C-alpha cells in the first residue's frame, strides 16, 4: 500500500482543489498525477508478486500505446484534411493536421534511432519522446478534467447569463457556432426563469476590423428575432478576446449589481479555458457549453490547449528547458552507448 501513497495524496489535494474552486488548472494536473501514480504503483505491485505476468503486462501496454499513437496520428491527419476542406487553411484549422504529422515524425525518429543505433539519435529520440510525453500528459489532463468540469453541477442562482462572442459572417451575420451559444443561453435563461428569477442576458463581443457592427449587437439582434425580450438583453461591445469579454462584462455586472452571480455560455471545447480565464479575471460564475460539430472539435480542442500552454508559458518553458538540458547532459556523458542497448 505504501506505493499508492503518492496517488492518494494527489487525489486528496485534487478533491480539496475542486471544493475550493473547480476552475483551477492544478485540479486537472493533480487528477492526472493521481492516475499516473496509481498505475505505476499497480504495475510495481503486480511485478513484485508475479514477475512474468508483470513483464507481459508491460509489453501489452507498450504495444497498445504504439497502436494508439499510430491510430491517433491517422485520425488527426484525416480530421485535419476535413478541416481544410470545410473551414479553409487558416493556422487554427491546420492544428489537427500538424499534430498528426508531428506524431508521424516522432515515430519515424524513434524507429530510425532504434535501427541505426547511434548515440546521438538515441538520446535525441529519447528527449523528443520525453517532451511529447509531457505534452500528451498535460493534454490528457486538460481533456479529461475539462470534460468533467463541463458535467459538474453548478449553482443555478444567477443574475446574468453571459454569452461570449466568436466572430460574424460577412461582418453582420451570426454564424452557426455563435448561434449555438445563443440558443444554449436562451435555454439556460428559461431554466433560471422557471425558478422565479429574471436574469439579464449579456452579449459580449466588440467590433473586429472586418465587421460592420459589434458582435454583441448582432447577437442581441439574433436573440430578438428568436423572440427573446429585448428589455432583458445587455451588451458589452468593447472586447476582442476572451480575457476582455470577461473583464469588461465583469465591470458591467458589478456596476449594476455588486454581489452578482453569473453563468457564462460558450462552446463545449472552450468551456474549461473560459472557466480558467473567469477565475483569473475574478468573475463570479461558472461556464457551460453549447454543442460543436464533431469534425470541428479536435482542432478546436488543440487550439484551446495551445492557448493554455501559452497562458502558463513560463512554467512550461522551464519544464521544456529542463527536459532538453537533461537530454544534453546524458548525451555529453555518452550514455547510453550504442553497444549497451539491445
Per-residue pLDDT tens over the stretch 90-112: 888 899 999 999 999 999 999 99
Query: What integer pLDDT is reported at residue 157 of this predicted model?
Result: 80
Question: Which residues does 9 contact at the CB level (< 8 Å), separation at least 6?
Answer: none
Query: For residue range 48-91, what is the model confidence (pLDDT) as tens digits?
Result: 777 777 677 778 887 888 888 899 999 999 999 999 888 888 88
List the pLDDT tens digit at each of the 342 positions of the chain. Answer: 788 899 999 999 999 999 999 999 999 999 999 999 998 998 888 777 777 776 777 788 878 888 888 999 999 999 999 998 888 888 888 999 999 999 999 999 999 998 988 888 999 999 999 999 999 999 999 999 999 998 877 666 899 999 999 888 888 889 999 999 999 999 999 988 887 778 999 999 999 888 889 999 999 999 999 999 999 999 999 999 999 999 999 999 999 999 999 999 999 999 999 999 999 999 999 999 999 888 889 999 999 999 999 989 999 999 999 999 999 998 888 766 655 544
How many C-beta neighbours within 10 Å does residue 150 have? 17
Strand partners, 202: 162, 234
- Sequential DSSP letters for 64-112: HHHHHHHHHHHHHHHHHHHHHHHH-S-GGGGHHHHHHHHHHHHHHHHHH
Residue 118 has which C-alpha cell? 547511434
SS3 242: helix
How many C-beta neighbours within 10 Å does residue 109 have? 15
Amino acid at each position: 500500500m505504501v506505493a499508492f501513497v503518492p496517488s492518494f495524496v494527489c487525489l486528496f489535494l485534487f478533491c480539496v482543489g475542486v471544493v475550493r474552486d473547480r476552475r483551477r488548472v492544478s485540479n486537472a494536473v493533480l487528477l492526472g498525477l493521481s492516475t499516473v501514480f496509481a498505475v505505476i504503483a499497480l504495475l510495481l505491485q503486480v511485478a513484485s508478486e508475479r514477475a512474468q505476468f508483470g513483464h507481459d503486462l508491460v509489453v501489452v501496454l507498450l504495444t497498445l500505446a504504439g497502436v494508439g499513437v499510430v491510430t491517433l496520428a491517422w485520425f488527426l491527419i484525416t480530421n485535419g484534411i476535413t478541416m481544410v476542406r470545410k473551414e479553409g487553411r487558416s493556422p487554427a484549422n491546420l492544428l489537427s493536421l500538424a499534430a498528426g504529422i508531428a506524431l508521424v515524425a516522432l515515430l519515424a525518429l524513434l524507429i530510425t534511432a532504434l535501427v541505426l543505433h547511434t548515440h546521438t539519435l538515441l538520446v535525441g529520440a529519447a528527449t523528443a519522446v520525453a517532451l511529447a510525453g509531457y505534452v500528451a500528459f498535460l493534454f490528457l489532463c486538460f481533456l479529461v478534467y475539462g470534460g468533467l468540469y463541463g458535467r459538474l453541477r453548478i449553482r443555478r442562482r444567477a443574475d446574468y447569463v453571459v454569452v461570449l462572442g466568436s466572430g460574424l459572417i460577412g461582418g453582420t451575420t451570426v454564424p452557426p457556432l455563435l448561434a449555438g451559444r445563443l440558443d444554449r443561453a436562451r435555454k439556460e435563461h428559461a431554466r433560471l426563469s422557471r425558478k422565479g428569477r429574471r436574469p439579464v442576458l449579456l452579449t459580449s463581443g466588440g467590433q473586429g476590423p472586418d465587421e460592420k457592427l459589434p458582435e454583441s449587437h448582432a447577437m442581441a439582434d439574433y436573440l430578438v428575432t428568436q423572440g427573446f425580450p429585448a428589455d432583458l438583453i445587455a451588451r458589452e461591445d468593447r472586447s476582442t478576446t476572451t480575457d476582455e469579454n470577461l473583464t469588461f462584462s465583469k465591470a458591467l455586472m458589478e456596476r449594476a449589481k455588486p454581489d452578482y452571480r453569473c453563468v457564462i455560455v460558450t462552446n463545449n471545447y472552450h468551456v474549461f479555458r473560459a472557466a480558467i480565464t473567469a477565475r483569473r479575471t475574478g468573475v463570479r460564475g461558472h461556464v457551460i457549453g453549447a454543442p460543436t460539430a464533431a469534425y470541428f472539435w479536435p482542432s478546436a480542442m488543440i487550439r484551446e490547449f495551445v492557448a493554455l500552454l501559452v497562458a502558463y508559458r513560463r512554467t512550461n518553458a522551464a519544464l521544456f528547458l529542463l527536459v532538453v538540458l537533461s537530454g544534453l547532459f546524458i548525451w555529453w556523458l555518452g550514455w547510453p552507448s550504442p553497444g549497451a542497448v539491445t
